[in-house]
Amino acid sequence: MKIETRNKVKELIKRVILLKIENYNAETEYRPFFQAIFTKEQVLTHTIIHSFYTTFGISIYEQLAKVLAEGAGYEAYTQYDLLGEIDNRTEAIISKIDMELRSNKRRPDMELEFEEIKNSIQKGKLLQDPDKRVDIFIKKKDGTEAYFDITSPKPNIKEFVALKKKLLIWIGLRLSADKNTRVIVALGLPYNPYYPKPYKRWTTRNMYDSCQLMVGEDFWNFVAGEEIYDEFIEIFKEIGEELREEIKEIAKK
């Protein structure tokens, strides 16, 4: 990782944590059962950790992905609107793929799904679509375009099913403007909650192939264009050490 990129990553993370420390308010909700089981310090530690956990929402991961991608010399945009127009025939094909996956009548295969949409899509106008919003759009130096929905590592089945169709729609929208574009559409999961075991959440079954899920290390290395994950984690460790006393102080608020 370049020094400049490393500094930007560290500055972003540190800024978010310091802002949280500055604005932190202690949990005041009365929880008699938990407070009867655990010590006051244990309950307080839990509420502090949970508060920081929610602070690191999807928007922070989007910003970090943008910094890493730009550090690699890529174009990168968060909350990007993907414009296009999907004709009725292609819309029906997308719905058919989606329904067949849901009913286990086909196996997920992004390359095949891509070709089915590409062979059907007609040239369209650059129109707004309800599913236009992309969390992070990256254009690599070779022209490859990657569109990510950054999502929770443990979404429910309803969310995962809906996201699959969104990815198919993104393919249609982009190819309606230019069929020759090299396109990657995928879910970006910031971390693998099952580490060191592989990510095998039951909700992925029959809906996604391995190309459509970039989890933890794979996701961060992809957006950075190189293997930076270990250094990425090291930055978080450094910040933890540097802000150790400040974090302890919030327990006194």
- Contacts of 96-99 with C-beta under 8 Å, sequence gap 24+, read 97/168, 98/164, 98/165, 98/168
Domains detected in the chain: 1-57+228-253 (no CATH), 73-225 (3.40.1560)
Residue 133, helix vs strand vs coil: strand
pTM of the model: 0.90
2-40: per-residue pLDDT in tens? 999 999 999 999 998 888 888 776 655 677 777 788 777
Residues 6+ apart with CB under 8 A from 136: 62, 65, 66, 69, 76, 77, 78, 80, 147, 148, 150, 188, 223
- The whole-number pLDDT of residue 248 equals 76
* Residue at 236: amino acid letter: F
Handedness of CA 53, 55, 57, 62 (dihedral sign): negative
Q: Is a pLDDT exceeding 90 seen at residue 158?
A: no
CA distance 119 to 227: 35
- The whole-number pLDDT of residue 22 equals 80
99-120: per-residue pLDDT in tens? 999 999 999 999 999 999 999 9
